[in-house]
Chain A
C-alpha cells in the first residue's frame, strides 16, 4: 500500500501541466515533450558511429571471432564452435560495438542506457575475473577486502573522492588531481630524461614478458592465453611507439613551437566524461559482484571440477563449461541487481557534474525538472519512464526468486 499510493500519485502528476498558479490536465503531452526534447533523445550523432575507432575495431574483432568459430566448428561438424580463441574476441567486439553506438547517440535516455550497459558489464566481468583469480590464491582475503572496501563508502563520498582524482588546474600550475598529475608527469617524462629511460625499460620488459607468455601459450596450444597476452601487448606496444615518437601524456605545443604541460578536463570533455563517471560506480560495484561470485565459485563441488579434469578439460574449459553454468543463476542475480541499481544512478552525477557537459541521466533529469524548474508534470513523467524501464528487470528477478523457492 505504501508503495502503490505514491506510484499512482506520480503517474497522475505526469499527466498534469503545473505552472505558477494553474494546474491543468494535459494527458500524454509530457511524455511527448520528453521524447522530442533534444536533451533527452538526440540521434543527430548517429553518423559519427561509423567513424569511431572503437566501432571499427569492434567490427574487426567480431568478424575475426566469428570466422574462427566457424572454422573450428566445421572441423567437428557444428555450425559454430565458440572456444578459447573466438569467445573473447566476439565478446569484446560486441561490447565495443554497442559501446561505440551508445557513445555517439546523445541525450539523457541514451546516456542512461550507456551507463547501464557499461557499468553492469564491466563490474560483472571484473568482479568475476577477480573472484576467479583470487580463488585459493595466497593473499585472497586481503585482496578481496581491499576490492570490497569501496562498497562501504557512500556514493556521494565516492563521487567527491573521485572529483579530487579528476580535478584539473590550469596547465602551468601544480596538478593536485592524481590523474592529471600523472598525465602531466608522463608528458614531461616522454620528453626525455631518466624517467623516460625507466619508463622505456619497464614497457619493454612488460611487452617482452607478454610476448614470451604468448609464445609459451602457442607452444602449449592454449589459444585463449595466446590471444589474451597478444591483445594486452598491443596497447603497450602503441604506448611504447608513442613514447619514442610524438610523446605521450599532457603536452601542448603552442603556436610558437614551445612545448608546455597540458591537462585533461576529465569531467568536461564529452562524451567520454561519462565514462570517467562510470568508473566511479564500477569502482564501487566490482566489490559487490566479486563477493557474490566468490561465494558461488566456492560452492561448486570440487568433485565436479575433478571430473572435468579427468574428462580431459583444460583449466579454461573447466571454467567456461562447468563453473560458469553452475554459477549462471548467480550471474543473473548480480546482473539484474546491477541493472536496476545503475538505472537509478543519481548521486554520482549530481555531485560530480550535476548533469552538465552531456552527462545527464534520468534520475538527475527528474530531480532538475521537478525541483529546479518546478515542472512537476515533466519530472513525474521522467520518474514514470524510469519506473517502467525497471519493471521488466524486477519481473525477471521476482520470477527467478519464485522458481528457486518452489
Chain B
C-alpha cells in the first residue's frame, strides 16, 4: 500500500505527438481513483506510465517514497488488470495467479496459501485447474483480478477491466470490485470511459481531456463524484459527467438582488438564491452572454409539483422515452447551440461540427412517470433553479468556481 504522486507528468511520443501533459495528481494511500475521459484523452497512457509500460518523458512519478521514473515495471511492485484480461493461455488458473509469485522465487507453500485465499474471495476455487479457454468472460475477469490480488502489491492498476463483459455482468462485477476494495484497501487506479463506473467506484474521479497544441494539459478536474456532478469546474466536465448530458444553452442573467432571472430564448426563469450563492461574481456577468446549464434531472412537469413563482418554462415535446420509473422528454429550445472551444472539441470527439447543429438547442428533461406525455404536447416544466449552472462563454470555466462547494444539501 502506498500513495502515488505525479508531478508535472508528461508524455511525448518519439514522433513528437503529445499524449499527456502537466498532470499533477496525488493519489492517497488506499484510495480508489478513477481516470475517466473520452477515447484519446491519455487516461490509459497515464496508467501505463504508472505501471512502467510507457516511459515518462516529463515530470516525476513517485510510488510510496520511491521515484519510479527509471525503475522497471518488475521493481515497482504494482499489479495490473488488463482490458482483455491478458491471461496466459497455456497456464492453468492456478499457474496464472501464481506466475508473478514464482518469478519472485516465493516459497511454494506461501504461493499456495495466497492463491487459495484469493480464489476463495473471488469464488473461483473450483476452476483453479482449468485453462483460461474453458472459462466464461466473468470468470476470466475474476482470474485476472486474482492474479493482481495474490501479489499483494502497493497498488492495483486497472485498464477498463469491465469493458469486455456484457451489461448485466458488468454491473455485478462493478459492485464486487467496490466490495473488494473496501476489503483490501489497496490503492487503486482505475481507467474507464464509462462515467457510471467512474461515479460508482471512485472515491475521487479525475476527468481528462485529450491534449491539443494550444492546451497541453489533460487533467480537467479531480474530485469526489458528487462534487463533479454538482460543481463541474468547466463545460467539459459538465458535459462529460451525467447521463443524459447537462442541457447547455447560451443566454444571460438579468436583475439584481434576490430577483435574478436566467434568460435564454423565450424563457425567463427566476434563479434561486442558492444558485447565486454558488456562483460568486455572477453579478459581474449581468446582461453579458454566458452559458446556462441545467441537468435533465432538475426538471419536473408542473402537473406533478404544481406551478410556482416563475421557475418554469414551456416545451413542445419531440420525443418521449418512458422508462417506467421515470420519463425522459426531449424538446428544442430556439437558441443556437453553445459553441465554445470546449464544445467544439467535444463535438469533434463525436464526429460533428458547430454548423451542423442548426439554430436550435436540444434539451432533455427527466420527469415523473406519473404524468402522460405524448410527442407534440406542449408541457410546462418547472426548473430546480437552485441547481442551475453558469459558465463563462469565452473560457468555458464555471463562474466563481470554488473547490468543495458542490454538495448543496
Binding site for B on A (CB under 8 A): 75-78, 301, 303-304, 306-314, 317, 321-322, 325-326, 328
Contact = CB atoms under 8 A, between A and B. Distances in A.
A322 B88 contact: yes
Contacts of A76: 102, 105-108
Contact of B89 (A75, A311, A313, A326): A326
Interface in B77-120: 78-80, 82-84, 86-91, 99-100, 102-109
A164 to B, nearest CB: 46
Contacts of B78: 310
5 contacts: A303-B82, A304-B86, A304-B88, A314-B74, A326-B90
B3 to A, nearest CB: 19
B108 A303 contact: no
Contacts of A78: 108
Contacts of A308: 88, 99
Contacts of B84: 301, 303
Contacts of A312: 73-74, 100, 103-104
B51 interface: yes
Given A301-B86, A312-B100, A77 B73 contact: no
Contacts of B83: 303
B105 A309 contact: no
Nearest to A306: B53
B86 A303 contact: yes
Nearest to B99: A311
Given A304-B86, A312-B103, A325-B88, 16 more contacts: A75-B105, A78-B108, A301-B86, A306-B53, A306-B86, A307-B88, A309-B72, A309-B74, A310-B157, A311-B103, A311-B147, A312-B74, A312-B100, A313-B99, A325-B90, A325-B91
Given A304-B86, A306-B82, A328-B90, A311 B108 contact: no
Given A75-B105, A77-B107, A77-B108, A309 B89 contact: no
B299 to A, nearest CB: 44
In the A-B complex, list the 6 residue pairs whose CB atoms are closest, starting with the nearest. A311-B100, A307-B86, A312-B74, A325-B90, A303-B86, A310-B80
A307 B80 contact: yes
Nearest to A314: B74
A304 B84 CA distance: 9
A78 B102 CA distance: 11
B158 to A, nearest CB: 12
Contacts of B108: 76-78
A340 B18 CA distance: 53
Given A76-B105, A303-B82, A307-B80, A313 B88 contact: no
A309 B88 contact: no
Q: Is the interface of A mostly helix, strand, loop or mixed?
A: helix
Nearest to B84: A303
Contacts of B100: 311-312
Nearest to B53: A306
A310 B53 contact: yes
Interface in B168-209: none
Contacts of B53: 306, 309-310
Interface in B102-143: 102-109
A191 to B, nearest CB: 50
A317 B84 CA distance: 22
A222 to B, nearest CB: 12
Contacts of A314: 74
A41 B139 CA distance: 58
B351 to A, nearest CB: 28
A76 B112 CA distance: 13
Nearest to B157: A310
Contacts of A311: 74, 79, 99-100, 103, 147, 151
B47 to A, nearest CB: 11
Report which residue of A77, A303, A314, A317 has the largest number of chain B beta carbons within 10 angstroms of its beta carbon: A303
A232 to B, nearest CB: 25
A304 B106 CA distance: 22
A304 B85 CA distance: 9
Contacts of A301: 84, 86
A310 B107 contact: no
Contacts of B109: 77
Interface string B42-61: 00000000011100000000
Contacts of B87: 307
A78 B111 CA distance: 13
A52 to B, nearest CB: 38
Nearest to A78: B108
A311 B74 CA distance: 6
B191 to A, nearest CB: 14
B107 to A, nearest CB: 7
A191 B147 CA distance: 63
B79 A310 contact: yes
A76 B73 CA distance: 23
A321 B73 CA distance: 17
Contacts of A328: 90
Contacts of B107: 76-77
A312 B80 CA distance: 11
B73 A310 contact: yes
Contacts of B79: 310-311
Nearest to A72: B105
A309 B82 contact: no
B88 A310 contact: no
B353 to A, nearest CB: 35
Contacts of A322: 88
Contacts of A303: 82-84, 86
B14 to A, nearest CB: 13
Nearest to A309: B73
A307 B132 CA distance: 15
B145 to A, nearest CB: 13
A356 B216 CA distance: 75
B144 to A, nearest CB: 9
Nearest to A311: B100
Nearest to B74: A312
Contacts of A304: 86, 88
A18 to B, nearest CB: 54
A307 B100 CA distance: 10
A303 B53 CA distance: 10
Contacts of B147: 307, 311
A326 B99 CA distance: 15
Contacts of A325: 88, 90-91
A397 B184 CA distance: 49
B49 to A, nearest CB: 13
A311 B100 CA distance: 5
